[in-house]
Structure 1
Amino acid sequence: MSSTESLLTREQRPLPATPTRPYSEELGAPPLPTIEKDKPTWISRFTTDVVSDLRSTQWKTLGKWYLLGFWTYCLFTTAVVLPVYLYLIGMSSFPFEGLIETGLRSPGCLPNDAFDARSTTYNIFDPSGFFQITHGFGDLTFTQVKVIDLIWDIMVGRGGQTMLAYFSWKAFSTYFWLSMSTQPITYNSFWAIFLDRQPSLVGIYRVIRDFVSHQARRSKSIMIFVPFSMLFVLVFPIMMSAMTGYRPNLAGFVADTTNSLIPFEKFVLAAYVLHDGERVGYGRDFVVPFMFGVPFFEIRKQMTKTLGRSEAFQLTDDGYFAEASVRVCEQWRYREACELPWNVSQYVEQYGFYGLDNKTGKPAKIRTTWKGEFIPEPSLNISAFYIPPGSYFGHGWTDPETKTTPFADSSNLALNIQGTNTLYTLDYVQEHGSCQQQKSYQWGFSFLQVFLMAILLLIWTSGTYFTWLKAHKTLEKQVQLDEVDKEVPSEFKSALTFASTVQFEMAMAGKEKPELSLTNGQLHSAIQRDLHGGRIMSTTSEITTNIPEQYNPMKEIWSLCKRRWFIFPALVFTTLCMTTLVLLPIMTFFVAGAIVLIPLHTGFVFAISIGSTSRSRGFFAWAGFIGMLIGAVVGLMVITRGGA
């Protein structure tokens, strides 16, 4: 008995607990029903799973995976998915006014500086555009484009090289430190990888030479990838500088019959001629444009946007041109522009061309109606140029005398400077047109070089990541996770390891320790002569020659895909969302891409990386999808309001 209990009296001590019956049982009444706790609803289960996953998330690690996934996905879309998508839908020839709509490039001037009055499409894979600024923007002064170019070279060129060199060193140093446990490397390779972090031609040559000399001991993929990566990092600033640049803005002009330069934007597409137009308030031989007040280049651009096909601008492709013309005229902003040609079309459909009756082919000496008003006989003398089928009346009209359809011949297409009666054929405009430099400049890049850079960056990213992942995961089997980075030598530890190894091998070869008084040439000769280039292995106690089976990244990825089966459909869906935006203007493309991709990518990354249950994974995926829809709706509202 404790001292505390001894101080208590018998009455003060607690009585032993005895089982008691409910009061209702003592009275003989039926027992009271037990109250069960409510089962959790599906909302509470969702909330519990999501909150639990968010609380257990390592945000720093998640951020790294988010950036890596975003970077890799953008490269994959640009380098692989986008070209395949363009090839499958037959749009390797983009309407450049839709893809890169700067608002500054003059109509008729293609991205390769050539004048083309027939088409506004440009083959983005044309080799002639490799060193051309095919995608430019801005109405800038020379000073402004120079500043932009300088900032690009420093921030993206040199800054990007520094980042690539750092990540390459992290991956290769870890891999070779693992490899050195069983296979020594030469002093040259150790120096190039662990000490000289900045790639150089000499270092690349030494690494390639050592790999070739010891190719039986090395992984062939590593033998190829390491020199490639070093060379890529070395030339990265040069490639980034070559793919961008500046040039003067261009304007399209056409020399008329007096050799005066007329802006191409003043040319309109001619449809009809009112030979006696003074009878209805117009001048003699009044040329009726295809769309009144709308330049020829604007018609082409709107027709391409309406159909979404490059063939819409090919004037010999009758069906597409005609279908687009009807749709464009139905738009509210072009109804007034189409009013006059539609009136002419209805008139000639009812009364005929050239003042002839459509049925008899004789002069129609009858009273006719023009815009609801009667005009005395004879009927108006109206002729036409090339009329696409399905647009205005005239394409299928048959001349009663010649039994031909003159207005169905696309060679009769004519252009006109609005306000004059002078007509020009398309061949004349094409032959006498040119692109003239303006005072302002634009800054941009070459699509082919960007495409090539995306492929190289995708290869470098994949190879570097798999190299690091394989070495890092294998080292974790021998060294604690927080000790991996400490065991890989860098900076002073690399220098100390290198110096001690040289001294040790010199002693083992029976030579005296190298003195500091030796020159670089003498020390190099001694190493080549006595040590045959030298060999260095990792001497860390934790990393032994008994290395277990190395980590296989592809097996891990396949296992992840089986556990997270929705990864592939998510990637396909996101890719389709991005690739369908390529017809937008460049700034709208980037904004729309950010609106669509960022919420969707965030939801999928959360679902894949931190979702531990199907409920939480579904919540994150749907949250990303809904965020994408909200952003898309808001973006469409902004774009529509801006277009209005």
Structure 2
Amino acid sequence: MFRNAIQRFSRFWRKGHHDARKDIRKGWVLFTIVVMWILGLVAVVVVLICVSVIRDNGSTVFGVGAGARSACQPDGTFKLLARTFNFWASSSFFQITLGFGRLNFTEAKTIDIIWDVVVGRGGQSLIALISFRVFAEYLSTEMETSPITFDVYQYFFLQNFQSLIVATYCTIRDFTARLRLRSITAMVFMVATLIFMLGFPTIASAMTGYSTNLKAYIPDTDNNLVEFSRFEYVAFVIEDAGRINETQPLYITIPSNGYDPSPEHEVVMSVFNAKCGNIGSYKCDMLERVIRYALQYSVFETNYTFSVFPGLARLPAPKLNITRYCSDFGTGFEWFHSSCNLWLWNNQTFNENWIQTKGRCQAVDDYQWGFSLIQLTIMVILCILWSTGILTMQTKTRRALRKLGKRDLASDYKAILELANAMHQQLAQRDENEGPSLLAQRDRDRTPSRSDSTLFLMTTLPRAHSERTDLFSYTTMTSSELRRRIKKDLRGGSISRQSIVQGVNIDSLEPTEQTQNRTFWQWLKQHKWWLLLLTTSMCISVATTIIMEAPFLMVFFGITVIVVPVICIGSTSESRAILFFWGFILFGVFPQLAFVGFATRIRAPR
């Protein structure tokens, strides 16, 4: 039995690798990359929403940037509780709410220029390259049964336009007033893509920027401004500290970590764990001893005959007079009454009212570069919509082209010849309908000109009409006259193939609604367990990221990443299993080991 199990596993292993290699060669890798790109953009939107809702204390979140854990908000106001800042307010639309770094002016300006050129202009070029290619393929299938205008043809097949604004306007005009496509959705998407392409550099530039970093200051009792980060948050005060051989009153504070000391519980706990988790100091030692004492001898109980302060002999009643300031440190104390917050600096105490009313933010000499959260979210959502539309249009177009038996897309010289041939035929037909008198009058008024390269190419085409309508009569037109004839007489012209290739009706290329529903439910049934695994791992990844930052986070993140390619590429159960196995090793196990090693190194005592 054991030998049979080994043999079955061996056959499964070999067949799985064979099928996986075969599936990868089919060309689904590019499709999978696009799907992963879309899912990555969706994940970015989720992260941005989490950043705005569940954020660490500060104008920038999760400890990112120079403003992390700062009382200074992006709008320059001073707020002890950073959670009250609204990232989605209209006033935050143009503010740098996700800032990074401490840069000088030259560095910040250089980064901004590089972003505008590489992402702004480069992104626009990439969107144009992909969009025009996909649109040309789609129009190739549309031209089998319905014509398009000359302008639309040259815009999408030849990318021949003076400016993107003109191309957008003419496309809208031709789609609405001249020749429409069969699919209204396709027309709307193509026009929306042109508008998105036109505005992409502006949006990419507007959503980024640089601003001076801010630092919080508090005036002391002598009205001298002191950096708020030099203050320490008071956890306890021992009023009768003389009983334990300390100066009274003794202020037990959270050691400073260089950030502005916030009263928010999560921040207090993170600072406490970071400063007192591994390294012993007088402040941390005294803080831990007070916590242990408070746990053993309840603040609310008074009938103790004696008490023992950790590290000292027993103390006669009464207990130590300890005042607690709003932090339970995991002890179960009911806490957070904002009026009792207290800070210490230079043996002076400052209550929350003093800090909040007199705190101010001032600009420093360095800069931060970053994003407007609102605009960044809008940009990512637009990219998701564009990517999804392009993927859908390309998938449907490729299926139609395969059924039509077409693999060669008209471009460059072939597209020029097709356009020139269509112009010649329609102009000749128009001239025949006008009659000889109008043709003679046009010939007398015409001056020879060969300035238009497209018209010159038409001289190479065979003559299909009479001597009065030969190609030379069109090449002697001026460019403006030919343009006027196409716009006015032909109303933009029309070009199509009007053919049914290999007996395939173009209408049969579009699946019916019933077929689409049946195929969709079959697909869900086939991949139900993989989809369940994807949903579960995604939920666990998001939950652990938000709640506990657990060490097993990377494992489930790896599962989330690999399941989508497994579904898209794998055609057999063996192939999907092998793809999942190696993907899990690459994206789950290795990142998990790196994460655990990094976390262990960070937490190790020094």
TM-score, with structure 1 as normaliser: 0.73
Identify the structure with the greater helix proportion. 2
Matches within 5 A, 1:328-407: 331-333=277-279, 337-341=283-287, 343=289, 358=302, 373=312, 382=321, 384=323, 386-387=325-326
1:260 paired with 2:224, answer: yes
Provide the rounded CA distance (Å) in 1 between the counterparts of 2:149 and 2:232: 73
Residue 209 of structure 1 aligns to a residue whose secondary structure is helix
Conserved? CA contact 1:561–1:567, under 8 Å: no
- How far has the Cα of 1:71 moved from its partner? 0.6
Residue 143 of structure 1 aligns to a residue whose secondary structure is helix
Q: 5+ unaligned residues in a row in structure 2: which ranges?
A: 432-438, 440-468
1:251-276 C-alpha deviation (Å, 9 max, x unpaired): 21112233321111122223444556
Aligned to 1:33: none
Provide the rounded CA distance (Å) in 1 between the counterparts of 2:138 and 2:336: 71
Q: 1:305 to 1:459 in 2, by over 3 A?
A: farther
**1:501 aligned residue (407, 411, 422):** 422
- How far has the Cα of 1:408 moved from its partner? 8.8
Aligned to 1:64: 30
1:548-599 C-alpha deviation (Å, 9 max, x unpaired): 51244966665544433344224324533653475599xx99x999987567
1:144 paired with 2:103, answer: no
Residue 528 of structure 2 aligns to a residue whose secondary structure is coil
Conserved? CA contact 2:538–2:556, under 8 Å: no
- How far has the Cα of 1:68 moved from its partner? 1.3
Note the aligned Cα RMSD (angstroms): 4.4
Provide the rounded CA distance (Å) in 2 between the counterparts of 1:573 and 1:197: 49
Residue 95 of structure 1 aligns to a residue whose secondary structure is coil
Q: 1:494 to 1:347 in 2, by over 3 A?
A: closer
Provide the rounded CA distance (Å) in 1 between the counterparts of 2:5 and 2:224: 87
Residue 108 of structure 1 aligns to a residue whose secondary structure is coil
1:181 paired with 2:144, answer: yes
- How far has the Cα of 1:389 moved from its partner? 6.4
Residue 506 of structure 2 aligns to a residue whose secondary structure is coil
Residue 549 of structure 1 aligns to a residue whose secondary structure is helix
- How far has the Cα of 1:602 moved from its partner? 4.4
Aligned to 2:508: 549
Aligned to 2:455: none
Provide the rounded CA distance (Å) in 2 between the counterparts of 1:287 and 1:343: 13
1:274-310 C-alpha deviation (Å, 9 max, x unpaired): 5565665444544333x35668845757725969xxx
Aligned to 1:4: none
Residue 147 of structure 2 aligns to a residue whose secondary structure is coil
- How far has the Cα of 1:374 moved from its partner? 6.4
Aligned to 1:637: 597
- How far has the Cα of 1:224 moved from its partner? 1.2
Conserved? CA contact 1:288–1:341, under 8 Å: yes
Matches within 5 A, 1:1-12: none
**2:168 aligned residue (200, 204, 228):** 204
Conserved? CA contact 1:272–1:383, under 8 Å: yes
**1:105 aligned residue (55, 64, 67):** 67
**2:388 aligned residue (462, 472, 492):** 462
Aligned to 2:436: none
**Which residue identity lines up with residue 9 of structure 2 in the other structure?**
I
Q: 1:139 to 1:452 in 2, by over 3 A?
A: same
Provide the rounded CA distance (Å) in 2 between the counterparts of 1:54 and 1:541: 37
Matches within 5 A, 1:119-518: 119=82, 122-196=85-159, 200-213=164-177, 218-274=182-238, 277=241, 280-289=244-253, 291=254, 297=260, 303-304=266-267, 331-333=277-279, 337-341=283-287, 343=289, 358=302, 373=312, 382=321, 384=323, 386-387=325-326, 410-417=338-345, 419-420=346-347, 422-479=348-405, 483-484=406-407, 486=408, 488-510=409-431, 515-516=474-475, 518=477
Percent of aligned pairs with the same amino acid: 25
- How far has the Cα of 1:49 moved from its partner? 0.8
Aligned to 2:484: 525
Provide the rounded CA distance (Å) in 2 between the counterparts of 1:352 and 1:639: 36
Aligned to 1:536: 495
Q: 1:156 to 1:389 in 2, by over 3 A?
A: closer
- How far has the Cα of 1:172 moved from its partner? 0.9
Conserved? CA contact 1:184–1:536, under 8 Å: yes
Aligned to 1:30: none
TM-score, with structure 2 as normaliser: 0.77
Q: 1:372 to 1:497 in 2, by over 3 A?
A: closer
Provide the rounded CA distance (Å) in 2 between the counterparts of 1:508 and 1:301: 81
Q: 5+ unaligned residues in a row in structure 1: which ranges?
A: 1-36, 308-323, 361-365, 397-406
More off after superposition, 176-185 vs 138-147: 138-147
Conserved? CA contact 2:81–2:262, under 8 Å: no
**Which residue identity lines up with residue 633 of structure 1 in the other structure?**
L
1:403-442 C-alpha deviation (Å, 9 max, x unpaired): xxxx99642332221x41x222212211222222222222
Provide the rounded CA distance (Å) in 1 between the counterparts of 2:330 and 2:562: 48
Provide the rounded CA distance (Å) in 2 between the counterparts of 1:543 and 1:526: 36
Aligned to 2:435: none
Conserved? CA contact 1:604–1:621, under 8 Å: no
Provide the rounded CA distance (Å) in 1 between the counterparts of 2:306 and 2:29: 80
**Which residue identity lines up with residue 476 of structure 1 in the other structure?**
R
Q: 1:78 to 1:554 in 2, by over 3 A?
A: farther
Aligned to 2:584: 625
- How far has the Cα of 1:466 moved from its partner? 1.4
Aligned to 1:315: none
- How far has the Cα of 1:635 moved from its partner? 1.0
- How far has the Cα of 1:206 moved from its partner? 1.3
**Which residue identity lines up with residue 211 of structure 1 in the other structure?**
F
Aligned to 1:401: none
Work out which of the two has the higher radius of gyration on C-alpha atoms and give 1 or 2: 1
Q: How many residues align?
A: 556
Aligned to 2:531: 568
Provide the rounded CA distance (Å) in 2 between the counterparts of 1:241 and 1:408: 43
- How far has the Cα of 1:109 moved from its partner? 2.2
Aligned to 2:12: 46
**1:95 aligned residue (49, 52, 56):** 56
**2:570 aligned residue (610, 622, 644):** 610
1:6-51 C-alpha deviation (Å, 9 max, x unpaired): xxxxxxxxxxxxxxxxxxxxxxxxxxxxxxx989712211222123
Conserved? CA contact 1:171–1:468, under 8 Å: yes
